[in-house]
Amino acid sequence: LDLFLAPPGCYFWPRNPLRRGPRLGQIFRVRVVAHPMLQDFRGGCIDPVFCHRVVIDVTAAHPLTPTQARAHNPPGQQNRVNSRAEAVVEENPRPPRRLGHFVMGTPNFKEATKFFVEGLGFKISDQILKGVATFARVEQDHHNLLIHPGPTSYLNHYAMEMDDVDAIGKAGAAVLAERDDASIVGVGRHVLGSNMFWYMLDPQGNMFEFFSDIDQIIDDEAWDRDFGRRDWEGSDGPAGFSVWGPKEPEVFFNPTDIETIAAGREAAGLPN
């Protein structure tokens, strides 16, 4: 299943996050394995909250080719001998493997959650109390979508999956070599999703995330019973931004251009 999100009248290209106008035209493709009964299905609608055009097109599954884990030497083991670490001798950073998820802010948090969950069939993995965040998925990843409250409807960030933390570090270092002010927060490991992260700005000013090692959910009942919660920061206990790593800065959920985004949406005739 390929899910495209694009404003009405906006072009899209598969597999690539793009930008059009004042951060209004971010476009994404999310791939999940379709149920056999949905073969040859095609449909779509207009997202009533963000006003994206949603096109659902069922295609064959395209599983990622797994990479061999890098050899490392934990205490008491000698898995890599007479050689430097692979990350040291690699000439170039490894490229991202895929677009994994995106995060959207909106003042219409409940309506957006209802649209994606009840309308499009996303499954909730975790929720934070009082409408602070919904983590939802369309495949095994802990989340392909995160919705949080915001002063206007906007893209918070998109996330690209990397092989491991070394791949994150080397790719992030390459970005900083080009733009030394690109880092937002990282490196660290999230609590919800468990993934390693490094958040940065792309050349257009959009925040993006390099991530790896995200939770995989293949048994919905087992996850909901043992780990999934609906009341984080309430009866289910605290859910911090990270287990370790820097604290998120204010601009993480309140980008400096948020007023420009709101004005752009208004000028385009889109509701905030």
The CATH number that domain 93-267 falls under is: 3.10.180.10
Q: What is the pLDDT of residue 137?
A: 97
15: helix, coil or strand? Answer: coil
Q: Say yes or no to pLDDT of 114 above 70.
A: yes
Q: What is the pLDDT of residue 21?
A: 40
Per-residue pLDDT reduced to its tens digit, 42-87: 677 788 888 877 777 777 777 888 888 999 999 999 999 999 999 9
Strand partners, 159: 101, 209
d(CA 247, CA 256): 18
Q: What is the pLDDT of residue 144?
A: 97
Q: Say yes or no to pLDDT of 34 above 70.
A: no
Q: Say yes or no to pLDDT of 109 above 90.
A: yes
Q: Say yes or no to pLDDT of 24 above 70.
A: no
Q: Say yes or no to pLDDT of 195 above 50.
A: yes
Give the residue, 205 or 39, on which the prediction is more confident. Answer: 205
Tell me the residue ranges of DSSP E strands in 87-182. Answer: 98-106, 123-128, 133-137, 145-149, 154-161
Domain residue limits, the chain = 93-267
Q: What is the pLDDT of residue 31?
A: 41
Per-residue pLDDT reduced to its tens digit, 235-264: 998 889 999 999 999 999 999 999 999 999
Per-residue pLDDT reduced to its tens digit, 146-185: 999 999 999 999 999 999 999 999 999 999 999 999 999 9
Give the residue, 22 or 43, on which the prediction is more confident. Answer: 43
Per-residue pLDDT reduced to its tens digit, 116-127: 999 889 999 999
Provide the CB-side half-sphere exposure for 191 (13 A, CA).
17
The overall average pLDDT reported for the chain is 85
Q: What is the pLDDT of residue 52?
A: 76
| H or E element that contains 41 | none
Q: Say yes or no to pLDDT of 224 above 50.
A: yes
Q: What is the pLDDT of residue 41?
A: 54
Eight-state DSSP code of residue 159:
E
**Residues 132 and 148: beta-carbon distance below 8 Å:** yes
Burial of 98 (0-12, 13-18, 19+ CB in 10 A): middle
Q: What is the pLDDT of residue 66?
A: 86
d(CA 36, CA 20): 35
**Residues 28 and 47: beta-carbon distance below 8 Å:** no
Give me the mean pLDDT over the 105-134 stretch: 92
Give me the mean pLDDT over the 26-37 stretch: 42
Q: What is the pLDDT of residue 85?
A: 96
- At 40, the pLDDT band (50, 70, 90 cuts) reads low
Q: What is the pLDDT of residue 26?
A: 43
Per-residue pLDDT reduced to its tens digit, 1-19: 344 444 433 333 333 333 3
Q: Measured in Å, how far apart are the chain's first and last C-alpha atoms?
A: 29
